[in-house]
Structure 1
Amino acid sequence: MIRKEQDTASGIGYLIVGLGNPGTQYTYTRHNAGFLCMDYIAVECGAELKKLKFKSLVADTVIDGTRVLLMKPQTYMNASGEAVREAASFYKIPPERIVVLCDDINLEVGRMRVRAKGSDGGQRGLRNIVLQMNADTMPRIRMGVGAKPEGWDLADWVLSSFSKPEGDAVASCFPFAWDGLRRLLAGDIDGAMQICNSKR
């Protein structure tokens, strides 16, 4: 069962955090794969990311009986952890119940990887979350945006826009991310990995 619910007896159980940069000029850039995926998930939940709280656009909703806070930090990518730390502190959410959706330049466009914990893989938003939370145990759903071509500056690459085929390939990850997220919330990390890591 998936439903939007603002007033529920149980507290927020998880933070679901999509990473990206605010501003229309960044909407379809590689670094905004997490924002784009979060928009998809919000639609699936029947939620609207309109309320500004914890330096983020947020939506309080329920996924399969678990109350969650969907978040799109508005701090810009490299300071994403500030928003996450504020929300985690307010709701007393441990790192293990913070799910991060983000881009990954180490994966081909359209490929995915779910991990229960580990390094930031060079993703600076995730790096800042690890720093601010003083932990690397946040589950993460990573979506491939392609490796930096030779001669490109990394910042220029992640802030470059997807081509139409690339955008379609990244969007094809979103239903898998949604399925993987539901499995994560049910405590089935292995199932989430199986669904997402095998996507071609």
Structure 2
Amino acid sequence: MTRTWLVAGLGNPGPTYAGTRHNVGAMVVEELCRRAGLSLSSARGQRAELARTRISAAGLAVPAAQSEAVILMRSRTYMNESGIAVRKVADFARVPVEQIIVVHDEIDLDLGQLRVKAGGGDNGHNGLRSIRAHLHSGDFLRVRIGVGRPPGHQDPADYVLKGFASREKAEVGGQVRLAADAVEYLMTEGLAAAQNRFNS
């Protein structure tokens, strides 16, 4: 029986939040959909938009004899309720926690930095806190995308809901593509190999 992966890109729904720092995880899922030639669509009975494909050593959506199922997911809940959506999709598709990849913003990493890891706490991230609570585990995989710390005394909660400065946008695009590469590599090559290649 082949494995099924669930890739959850975190963010807030709606055009108001598109392009903000808190939505880089959702941007990565959109990039993976673009690579696979797919569109996200609302799933009946779920609180998420989903696309289904397969991955093999040849890449995402490339037909191959040896491949595994992949569910790409963007939540329709707000960030602090991400766990509701992730749990519903994981339960429905019978995806175990160790095959869930959560892609999210990380203020403790500078813009341009990327980390792949398994397990850990939530580090004040409301989306991770919700997912840990609803899965009753923190043992899922994470792709952490650096968005930098807020300048001065700005509240981090306000900072992550802001868009990127114009001088940052080209770098963000590159980071989104690199994070999508990391997600693919994590599924095909495993955690240690992905950490060796992508942890900056």
What is residue 96 of structure 2 aligned with on the other side?
94
Deviation at 1:176, TM superposition (A): 2.2
Q: Does 1:23 align with 2:25?
A: no
From 33, 37, 42, give the equivalent of 2:33.
Answer: 42
From 43, 54, 57, give the equivalent of 1:52.
Answer: 43
Amino acid aligned to 1:88: A
From 86, 91, 105, give the equivalent of 1:103.
Answer: 105
Check whether the contact 1:12–1:69 (CA below 8 A) recurs between aligned residues.
no
Amino acid aligned to 2:52: D
For normalisation by structure 2, the TM-score amounts to 0.89
What is residue 3 of structure 1 aligned with on the other side?
none
Check whether the contact 2:116–2:144 (CA below 8 A) recurs between aligned residues.
yes
Check whether the contact 2:2–2:68 (CA below 8 A) recurs between aligned residues.
no
Runs of 4+ in 1 over 3 A off after TM superposition: none
Q: Could you say if the C-alpha distance between residues 94 and 187 of structure 1 is closer, same or farther in structure 2, counting changes exceeding 3 Å? A: farther
For normalisation by structure 1, the TM-score amounts to 0.89
Check whether the contact 1:51–1:59 (CA below 8 A) recurs between aligned residues.
no
What is residue 62 of structure 2 aligned with on the other side?
none
Where does the alignment leave 5 or more consecutive residues of structure 2 unmatched?
Answer: 57-66
User: What RMSD over aligned residues (CA atoms) do the two structures have, in Å?
Assistant: 1.5
Equivalences for residues 119-134 of structure 1 within 5 A: 119-134=121-136
Amino acid aligned to 1:32: N
Check whether the contact 2:149–2:156 (CA below 8 A) recurs between aligned residues.
no
Q: 1: distance between equivalents of 2:27 and 2:14? A: 13
Size of the alignment, in residue pairs? 189
Check whether the contact 1:180–1:191 (CA below 8 A) recurs between aligned residues.
no
Deviation at 1:11, TM superposition (A): 7.0
Equivalences for residues 38-187 of structure 1 within 5 A: 38-53=29-44, 54-64=46-56, 65-187=67-189
Q: 2: distance between equivalents of 1:197 and 1:127? A: 23
SS of aligned partner of 1:59: strand
Check whether the contact 1:143–1:170 (CA below 8 A) recurs between aligned residues.
no
Check whether the contact 1:37–1:171 (CA below 8 A) recurs between aligned residues.
no
Where does the alignment leave 5 or more consecutive residues of structure 1 unmatched?
Answer: 1-9
What is residue 33 of structure 1 aligned with on the other side?
24
More deviation, 176-185/38-47: 176-185
